[in-house]
Structure 1
Amino acid sequence: MIPSEVEIRKINIAQSKELSDLLLQSDREYSKYFIPFEFDIESVSKVLEKAVKDMYYGIYVNSILVGFYMLRGWDAGYGIPSYGVWIAENFSSKGLSKLTLHHAISICRINKVKKLMLKVHPDNIIAKKIYEDFGFTFSGVDEKIGHLVYYKNIK
């Protein structure tokens, strides 16, 4: 058996179709908690095209996109970036979300970012456990969408 390679690569508008296709092919029930933007090519292209300070990273296994994560909010003027991640269902529970958290925290440290924020649906028990294990603490509820807001101090 040949070992699989895992890479995290910055993505941009050139990967819009690849990312949109991946998201659109996912089971609607599986992706129901992930709501930062629509999955159609136009919406994905718009998000990636507008990114200046915001960062979007693809997770690739053997050069195939299997997920992505983002650090965003800087382009909207926020000083604390918001972390979000989506991993294809057939690659979930393989440590990729944790890998992206390590990567995101390193990016924050390199850029002297002192705090990281994320929002998670209250029913997403697995994600909440991962975030709490990484030192994120509950701060409140986003009244607009009902998601729990967590912060992590970056040291």
Structure 2
Amino acid sequence: MTTIYDFTLPALEGGEINLAEYRGRPILITNTASKCGFTPQYEGLQALWYQFRSMGLIVIGIPSNDFGQQELGSSSEIAAFCHRNYGVSFPMAARSPVRGAQSIPLFRWLDKECGFLARPRWNFYKYLTNRTGKPVAWFSSITPPTSARVSNAVERVILNP
């Protein structure tokens, strides 16, 4: 049985993010973009990270250029933008495709596990997995990370090992 912990991602600033290192911890994955109307959600993602990381939550951003060509070119440009404008300190993957036949294996798995309605239709779709590595909730771009829906779902996976 596949879980989120079976995947690795290329890291934004080199190396890789091995999700197996987070086994037993809930993970919130989101596809991001630097020039999107939803880009200010980085602030909310950072707030979630600050609020819940001591309780085990991992937040991971995956920059993608799939929607409206809204992601900056290089990894260093993306990293500088995220750090400078939003103080992002949670792990960030390298720019990756998240939809269609070219999507990275993690997003193909999320598509299979979460179903057609959960496929990212724009930037800042959010996917929450529980402590066993299975998806338990997803949120579209219009649901801010600071919404009660997201924080309640995060609290449920943190409190229910």
Provide TM-score, normalisation by structure 1: 0.29
Structure index of larger Rg: 1
Higher helix share: 2
Higher strand share: 1
